[in-house]
Amino acid sequence: MSIAKILVVEDDSELQEALVDTLTLNEFEVLAVSNAEEALVALDDEIGMVFSDIRMDGMDGYTLMTRIRAIKPYLPVVLMTAYGTIEQAVEAMKAGSVDYIVKPFEAKVLVEKAKIYFNRDASLEDDFVVADPVSQQLKTMAKKVAESDASILISGESGTGKEVLARYIHSQSSRSKQPFVAINCAAIPEGMLEAMLFGHEKGAFTGAAKSMPGKFEQAQHGTLFLDEIGEMKPELQAKLLRVLQEKEVERIGGTKTIQLDVRILSASNIDMKQAIQNHAFREDLFYRLNVFPMHLSPLRKRPRDIAAITERLLHRHCGVTRVEPMVSAPAMKRLIEYSWPGNIRELDNVIQRALVMMSGDTIREHDILLDHECLSALGGKSSGGGKKEEGSSVESATDISEEGQTSSEGFKPLEYPLDLKARETQLILETLRKNGGHRQKTAEILNISPRTLRYKLAKLKEQGVEIP
């Protein structure tokens, strides 16, 4: 039925086995774990739904559900409960679970719930929060273009909310009750991406133990979101172009042609025009994807959105488990004046830290720990105790001296002698910048795997480095 998986969280081994067998027989891919802690580790982009018991040792299913809602508000969670905890299950539905099943239940009940909720958007509210005039205009435009089937290419820095915008467009379209399927083209190993997109037949390649449909089939009658499309290899771009032109797909190793009714949304954080000039991206595919271009500005350029997004994040992380705190005026001023190199992802981290650090019912200025201040508090290097918030991210990662000169591109050349880590950081950033932010090409030039590059960039982002 789909290459995405259902996550089953059940500590009773016999019941877990029965649940897995039932779902597998009905052509669902299943991943099973025995506790909530393992579930959080297993929670990746390939999970399309969660079935979880409520009563478990350690973290219970109710707490797991609230954690999942904070991390992935779109992911459907169905709780399994005994008669004695129905009241808790009802409370969980108020807090964000989509449904619950009372034990003992028949196999057909489990399968029915899976068919209803698998790969559906479980968010109960509009998560594309806007307050800034520029963002409001974009949202109005998104709602209008959602009425058509035009392909949309969303550009913007990493962490600005491109997938949230894509989900909003899907929710406003006539396809809203059909699947929304997202795939990060940069996060899938090169050899697997083709099979993930188009599917494969049993024996098509080594390790293909059974036939599997791809993301296009999974998104049938709905929307397929291709994130970081600019990182796709040119060879695969040609195959994708053909699928989009012909509106049909053929699984790897297969002979049957499958007609498609899928709307395509895509996104990239690189300069696509530059990628075309560098022969890293096909111009014909670009124009096929870019029927209606949309751009999400970085958070620093839409400061009025910061307060609104902060409020939504607080609501999400507090849920019904704690009273949602107020944010003091000095604390909000601090949030609005910061440059947010990591955009909304970084803001989310800061809000979660504030909820840990605060006391009473108000988040105050000293509860706002920015990334470089957090490192300093833990005994790591900082970029000046928070006084250099604007553009200080590269300095934070490499501990550059004050005497260095800043280039016109905002990168301060490093002075020798340097430690190995600082040289590596400089080399990665300079190569990335020269290639217009293209991750795949940067990895090839540096002679490292794309996965290694993504890991290193993620670590730099955690330190507050602004990535091109």
- Structure confidence by residue, pLDDT tens digits, 264-311: 999 999 999 999 999 999 999 999 999 999 999 999 999 999 999 998
Q: What is the pLDDT of residue 462?
A: 62
Of 44-53, 178-187, 281-290, highest mean pLDDT: 281-290
Q: Sketch out the chain's domains with CATH numbers.
A: 5-117 (3.40.50.2300), 133-297 (3.40.50.300)
Q: What is the pLDDT of residue 405?
A: 41
Lowest mean pLDDT among 119-128, 139-148, 208-217, 445-454: 119-128
- Read off φ and ψ for residue 393, nearest 5 degrees: -65, -45
Q: What is the mean pLDDT of the chain?
A: 83
Q: What is the pLDDT of residue 401?
A: 34
**pLDDT tens by residue, 88-109:** 666 767 667 788 888 888 999 9
Contact 294, 141 (CB under 8 A): yes
pLDDT of 464 strictly over 80: no
- Read off φ and ψ for residue 275, nearest 5 degrees: -60, -35
Q: Where are the alpha helices (DSSP H) in 172-297?
A: 190-198, 215-218, 234-246, 272-277, 283-289
Please give the biggest Cα pair distance in the chain. 71
| pLDDT mean over 9-34 | 92
Q: Where are the alpha helices (DSSP H) in 74-198?
A: 86-95, 107-117, 133-145, 162-171, 190-198
Q: What is the pLDDT of residue 210?
A: 80
Is 0.75 surpassed by the pTM of this model? no
Contact 396, 371 (CB under 8 A): yes
- Neighbouring C-beta atoms of residue 257, cutoff 10 Å: 11
Rg (CA), the chain: 23
Assign 377 a pLDDT band (cuts: 50, 70, 90). low
Question: What is the C-alpha separation between 436 and 270, in angstroms, rounded?
Answer: 6
Of 121-125, 409-413, 458-462, highest mean pLDDT: 458-462
Q: Which of 119, 293, 295 is nearest to 223 (CA)?
A: 119
Can you tell me which residue has the tokens 């807090």?
95
Lowest mean pLDDT among 19-23, 111-115, 412-416: 412-416
Question: What is the C-alpha separation between 27 and 1, in angstroms, rounded?
Answer: 5
**pLDDT tens by residue, 215-226:** 999 899 999 999
| pLDDT mean over 131-148 | 94
